[in-house]
Amino acid sequence: MDYELQFSQYNEHSILIEWPKIIDENILKSILKSKKSVIEFYSKLKVEVINTYSSILVIYDHAIDNFNDRLFELKSIFDDQNSDVMLESRLWEIPVCYDREFGIDLSTISSEKKLSISEIIELHTAAIYTVYFIGFLPGFLYLGGLHPKLHFNRKNKPSLNIKKGAVAIGGQQTGIYPQDSPGGWHLIGETPIELFNASQQTPCSILAGDRIKFYSVNKNTFLDIKKRAENSTYQLKQIPSNA
């Protein structure tokens, strides 16, 4: 599917390319294929390419001397792009403990949405979520695919200290806080795994375009996985596939 793209100079070092401003898996695939083509084209240069729901930002390691030349270059990359480019995608299975100790906002969501807590957990674990991009915090996954029954507005007053690993709902999204942080999402559980580790060669193993499946674990299993994760003896389950 072809999209009408907007190219603009973002600052002296970068160019912004924008797709229609909607959350859509077909747009995500188009963005990720374009991102891959740009990275391959500039393989001998220091260029960073960052994507969001509906855009990519191409950041050069030097000031852009001639914006029109770079713009023509990028448009040529997009025009020559192979539509059959295959994207790597993996399905990650992430354990979550939904005990009240961690899911401190489950009762609020249950009352407001007229759902039992077991129904909330069932709906949350039934979906397969798509990772659209990573941002806000290093390793924070923006996930699409939350069941409409679980859509819930962010808090009017953000919490000052949400624990690392907290699983939460905000608006039409669900996500995991990768480190202690303020935040305005409603907490429904906690995962014992670590999503971001700056000391590792690949700080965040999960990438845009991957998929996430949550599964429920009890408190004892949570503590066991947490201990193994801290000792680097726990491996996330993943299933490779083509997007």
The pLDDT tens digits of the residues spanning 67-123 come to 999 999 998 888 877 666 667 788 999 999 999 999 999 999 999 999 999 999 999
* 58 pLDDT higher than 90: yes
To the nearest whole number, what is the mean pLDDT of the chain?
89
- The C-alpha torsion from 148 through 208 and 165 to 108, rounded to 10°, is -10
Sign of CA dihedral 169, 173, 178, 184: negative
The torsion region of residue 136 among left (phi > 0), alpha (psi -120 to 50) and beta comes to: left
> Beta strand 166-170 with 186-190: parallel, antiparallel or unpaired?
antiparallel
Q: Provide the pLDDT confidence category of residue 185 given band limits of 50, 70 and 90.
A: very high
> Beta strand 55-60 with 14-18: parallel, antiparallel or unpaired?
antiparallel
Ordered domains of the chain (ranges, CATH): 6-79 (3.30.1360.40), 88-242 (2.40.100.10)
Look at residue 83 in the predicted model and tell me its pLDDT.
60
Spatial separation of the C-alpha atoms in residues 200 and 53, rounded to whole Å? 27
Look at residue 82 in the predicted model and tell me its pLDDT.
62
First to last CA, the chain: 15
Which of 215, 239, 217 shows the shortest CA–CA distance to 226?
217
- In degrees, rounded to 5, the angle at the alpha carbon of residue 94 between the alpha carbons of residues 92 and 98 is 155
Spatial separation of the C-alpha atoms in residues 79 and 235, rounded to whole Å? 40
Spatial separation of the C-alpha atoms in residues 232 and 43, rounded to whole Å? 33
* Burial letters 135-151, b for 16+ CB under 10 A, else e: eebebbbbbbbbeeebe
Question: What pLDDT digit, counting tens, does each position of 211-227 carry?
Answer: 999 999 999 999 999 99
Spatial separation of the C-alpha atoms in residues 209 and 86, rounded to whole Å? 12
Spatial separation of the C-alpha atoms in residues 219 and 222, rounded to whole Å? 5
User: Chain centroid to CA 12: how far?
Assistant: 28
pTM given for the model: 0.84
Q: What are 199's two structure tokens?
A: 């000391």
* 242 pLDDT higher than 60: no
